[in-house]
């Protein structure tokens, strides 16, 4: 059990937490909200509180899928954060009276709500209003780890940490302006590629049910388009540097027939919920097991969120439900190079 959680921690730290982004965002918010009063101490406190919501990856769960469903639920809820912030402020105020109790309350609350707001920009899904309902929200406009967002922000906050109070405030403000501007750029780029995709689908007379546009690994220049059409899904790529705005789509089978007899299974329902309906099915382990894949992150059957959900019965073509087990996958260096080349050169990928 301990080894399994360490493995989950490694993958989810790299892809789902990106704690460094949250730390620098929190540090910037804290410095600005307090006018950089004793900013070095505030930055350290901010790093601590900005990381807390993501510690839910250590919470126990009965299986891998439940572990994924638990992440970014109550710890990321604006409702729960608003209730816990005054209690956290009491504890901090007893230790550090740099700020008044009310100011600590405000700063901690601000750190948490901005953390969750940033997470909404990614594809995972964040329960901002848990337990009031509404389901997880996601824009999918920023990859979970994006150096172009994090590194400039990190630089400004390092400069802020070592600067005097007045200059620390200026560096923190610059970092927040740059990072927010980048989020806006990514959203606009996503919407532009979406419009290109919709136009191309009309030209090809492809009637679809759902469409998703998300960034490829570590950038906001190359975008992947996923289009659902009942038993099939289409996949295409568009770069912001493409001279030819047409998007070439490749068709893939979702293999939904393999779920025959499993439609009412709770694991399948939860996987549909987790993926917002963007899922496909594939045989695994020489067709002895069945896996369900979230199509929103990864491509060509190399998906970050995929789970073995059923096992083939002996001497039968049918599958029997099993406890969901995550099939771990990390992008290979060759795939990252492929993404980099496609950003600048138009091809069918």
Do residues 48 and 178 share a domain?
Answer: yes
Confidence of residue 216 (pLDDT cuts 50, 70, 90): very high
pLDDT (tens digit per residue) in 286-300: 778 999 999 999 887
Do residues 134 and 237 share a domain?
Answer: no
Do residues 29 and 139 share a domain?
Answer: yes
- Of the chain, the percentage scoring pLDDT greater than 90 comes to 81
Identify the pLDDT of residue 2: 45
Residue 170 forms part of a structural domain: yes
Residue 192 forms part of a structural domain: no
Residue 338's domain comprises 204-344
Do residues 164 and 214 share a domain?
Answer: no
Do residues 338 and 261 share a domain?
Answer: yes
pLDDT at 331 over 60: yes
Measured CA to CA, the distance from residue 106 to residue 82 in angstroms comes to 10
In terms of Cβ atoms closer than 10 Å to its own Cβ (0-12, 13-18, 19+), residue 313 is exposed
145 touches 14 (CB < 8 A): yes
Q: Which residue has the tokens 């990321």?
A: 76
Do residues 60 and 135 share a domain?
Answer: yes
Positive/negative CA dihedral, 202, 205, 209, 215: negative
Measured CA to CA, the distance from residue 245 to residue 259 in angstroms comes to 37
Residue 211 forms part of a structural domain: yes
Positive/negative CA dihedral, 267, 269, 272, 275: negative
Residue 218 forms part of a structural domain: yes
132 touches 122 (CB < 8 A): no
Domain count, the chain: 2
Identify the pLDDT of residue 330: 74
Residue 190 forms part of a structural domain: no
pLDDT (tens digit per residue) in 5-17: 444 444 454 544 4
pLDDT (tens digit per residue) in 318-327: 889 999 999 9
pTM here is 0.92
Do residues 168 and 25 share a domain?
Answer: yes
Q: What is the dihedral of CA 75, 80, 81, 83, to 10 degrees?
A: -150
Strands 306-312, 319-326: parallel, antiparallel or unpaired by DSSP? antiparallel
pLDDT (tens digit per residue) in 73-90: 999 999 999 999 999 999
């Amino acid at each position: 059990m301990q080894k399994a959680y360490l493995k989950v921690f490694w993958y989810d730290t790299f892809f789902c937490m990106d704690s460094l982004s949250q730390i620098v965002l929190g540090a910037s918010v804290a410095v600005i909200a307090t006018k950089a009063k004793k900013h070095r101490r505030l930055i350290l406190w901010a790093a601590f509180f900005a990381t807390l919501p993501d510690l839910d990856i250590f919470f126990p769960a009965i299986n891998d899928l439940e572990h994924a469903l638990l992440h970014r639920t109550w710890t990321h809820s604006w409702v729960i954060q608003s209730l816990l912030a005054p209690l956290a402020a009491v504890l901090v105020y007893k230790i550090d009276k740099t700020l008044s109790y009310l100011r600590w309350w405000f700063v901690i609350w601000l750190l948490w709500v901005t953390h969750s707001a940033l997470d909404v920009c990614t594809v995972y899904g964040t329960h901002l209003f848990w337990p009031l309902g509404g389901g997880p929200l996601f824009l999918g406009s920023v990859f979970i780890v994006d150096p172009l967002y994090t590194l400039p922000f990190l630089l400004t906050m390092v400069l802020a940490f070592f600067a005097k109070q007045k200059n620390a405030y200026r560096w923190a403000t610059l970092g927040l302006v740059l990072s927010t501007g980048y989020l806006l750029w990514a959203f606009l780029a996503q919407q532009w590629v979406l419009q290109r995709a919709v136009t191309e689908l009309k030209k090809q007379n492809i009637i679809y049910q759902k469409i998703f546009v998300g960034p490829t690994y570590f950038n906001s220049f190359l975008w992947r388009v996923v289009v659902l059409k009942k038993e099939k899904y289409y996949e295409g790529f568009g770069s912001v540097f493409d001279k030819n705005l047409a998007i070439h789509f490749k068709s893939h089978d979702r293999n939904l027939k393999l779920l025959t007899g499993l439609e009412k299974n709770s694991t399948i329902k939860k996987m549909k919920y987790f993926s917002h309906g963007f899922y496909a099915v594939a045989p695994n382990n020489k067709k002895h097991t069945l896996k369900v894949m979230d199509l929103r992150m990864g491509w060509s059957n190399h998906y970050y969120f995929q789970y073995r959900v059923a096992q083939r019965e002996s001497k039968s073509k049918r599958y029997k439900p099993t406890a969901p087990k995550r099939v771990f996958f990390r992008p290979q260096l060759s795939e990252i190079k492929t993404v980099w080349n496609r950003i600048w050169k138009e091809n069918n990928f």
